[in-house]
Structure 1
């Protein structure tokens, strides 16, 4: 092995602390200890929240939950854990991670903290496609409808935002405008649907994990994994765009191609979340910002944001099923309330400054 092929560890310091870079055979991997530790901690907390959801209300003791997970429990415990609770917990973790990662990509792409899929209209587009399938097609193709609606919205917003030089604020404004129009389309579709279909669709539009089933988990998990793997090579190029298109181009980064790839991955992540649980609000907005505060990192922060999204949605769903309400509480109600509190806290914090 020559010197050029031998892996080399390079240590340095940045705004987020020490950095360990591993390079060799044309590959480069930078590891920042603090963001990595934050990601692992948030992942453990999200798993802990899921474990609490499995053992809630004392119906199935923790020992029987473990037995059911490993195939050694009673039939009753296995049914409650594996058929009723585990799909909801697993899907909540996957959807939360997808929303957190999508929010991180949108915010870095637009260079605006409001650049999340639920704010700029991409969730509305995915919801429109899914509603058309739910109300007028085969419900088995909801995922395809959500992906198609989100992709069509992304194309329209991108075309509106690309007039002249690219600006993040223009992307936000174009997304809000298109999202408002699509919200009207969604409302119209509901008024024209049968009453029972409209009620179920309205519950889905709020965002709910109550109808999660085992067969939904694996496709959502595979979609999340593939899209995260596709995002990792592009994230570094996206971070270089902070220096400006000309400076990034001097380093070999194609700004236009990078933005299109990031947009496709972010829309795909949004479609995975929307098709599985409906357009859940505020998780994609809050998760990247909270993760960035904890990790003190710069750039996209994709993995910490995904872990924070999983924790936020898992904890919100645990609160939704634990609150003493007259009926099942959709998780979208809880995330909307938490998002409002978070925005109010940001406003108050900014005013004190």
Structure 2
């Protein structure tokens, strides 16, 4: 008779494979994000060698090169990293907590709440700069709270439906405001609505970095029960998950997305695409850090392509990610339909 296999060893072997894949996915995404950062900083209209980059970074003054790197290219790339991280992680939290791959901040109205508040600030009150960013954060939080109060329990499909309806209403209201505004205000509003990194500077980078440094550790604590919440509220509570954890994670995700929108405008569909992409790479298991890294790769890649590779014009990041988001949504819907029909 063969000896009975050790069940503990069997469980360890079963866990080892997914963990190795997770680490491999994270490693690959870190390499891609690093490469995208290097391309944005070192290449373009003014190119740098790696030694020159580090010489400037450590304080050496080179005519023209130092200013362009430290005041334009580097803050733009760093802001792209932070914004992509916030969009990616925020979107993945929405999709995982609400148990719906379509339930990203772009789709359920949070991003549109920020956009509406920003357009109102620009057109109605004539505000600019930091005031518009603060209005965007307030608008995102207000709309998220409204959707939560009307939509019912976390995990309910009603939240997604209410969010989609809110998106349609806010989009119509923005169109109404733009139709009645002056040409100058419309230009400012449309530039902001396109979503781009053109207004990046070190104060903005510091503000986003500080916000992320506060919010991400809080999210890490609450996300320990992330997989359990996918089983449903009652079963998750029975397994020991905190009842307030889903609401807390959603609130932090709203703030992450709001901060990103305030810094760069509503870069379309990054939050929507990052989570499912990271999940697919990780064998169907959610990974917040992976989603954040996918967001970084998307934002930095789209910024470089739009800035340097499309003729003589500069295309905002949000235009390119929006163009990618539409076919991605169709693919996601088709994938969900085929999986249901085969099951």
Does TM, normalized by the shorter one, top 0.5? yes
Q: CA deviation at 1:238?
A: 3.1
More strand by share: 1
Q: Which residue of 1 aligns with 2:291?
A: 305
TM (normalized to structure 2)?
A: 0.88
Q: Is the 8 A contact 1:208 1:331 kept in 2?
A: yes
Q: Which residue of 2 aligns with 1:158?
A: 148
More helix by share: 2
User: C-alpha root-mean-square deviation of aligned residues, in Å?
Assistant: 2.4
Q: CA deviation at 1:178?
A: 0.9
SS in structure 2 at match of 1:119: helix
Q: CA deviation at 1:181?
A: 1.1
Q: Which residue of 1 aligns with 2:303?
A: 317
- Distance in 2 (CA, whole Å) between partners of 1:288 and 1:46 is 16
Rate the CA distance shift 1:180–1:69 in 2: closer, same or farther, 3 A. same
Post-superposition Cα deviations, 1:263-317, rounded to whole Å, max 9, x if no partner, equal: 211110110110011111111111111111112252x411111111101111111
- Distance in 2 (CA, whole Å) between partners of 1:58 and 1:166 is 48
Q: Map residues 126-275 of structure 1 onto 2, 5 A cutoff.
A: 126-135=114-123, 136=125, 137-162=127-152, 166-255=154-243, 257-275=244-262
Rate the CA distance shift 1:141–1:14 in 2: closer, same or farther, 3 A. farther
Rate the CA distance shift 1:157–1:312 in 2: closer, same or farther, 3 A. same
Q: Which residue of 2 aligns with 1:3?
A: none
Q: CA deviation at 1:198?
A: 1.3
The answer to whether the aligner puts 1:277 opposite 2:264 as a matched pair is yes
Q: Is the 8 A contact 2:83 2:264 kept in 1?
A: yes
Q: Structure 2: which 5+ residue stretches go unaligned?
A: 1-9
TM (normalized to structure 1)?
A: 0.85
Rate the CA distance shift 1:218–1:115 in 2: closer, same or farther, 3 A. same
Q: Which residue of 2 aligns with 1:67?
A: 55
Rate the CA distance shift 1:138–1:304 in 2: closer, same or farther, 3 A. same
Instruction: Decide which of 264, 267, 273 is 1:286's aligned counterpart.
Output: 273
Q: CA deviation at 1:17?
A: 2.6
Q: CA deviation at 1:94?
A: 0.7
Q: Structure 1: which 5+ residue stretches go unaligned?
A: 1-9, 19-31
Q: Is the 8 A contact 1:64 1:73 kept in 2?
A: no
- Distance in 2 (CA, whole Å) between partners of 1:127 and 1:36 is 36
Corresponding pairs, count: 327
Q: CA deviation at 1:236?
A: 2.2
The answer to whether the aligner puts 1:12 opposite 2:12 as a matched pair is yes
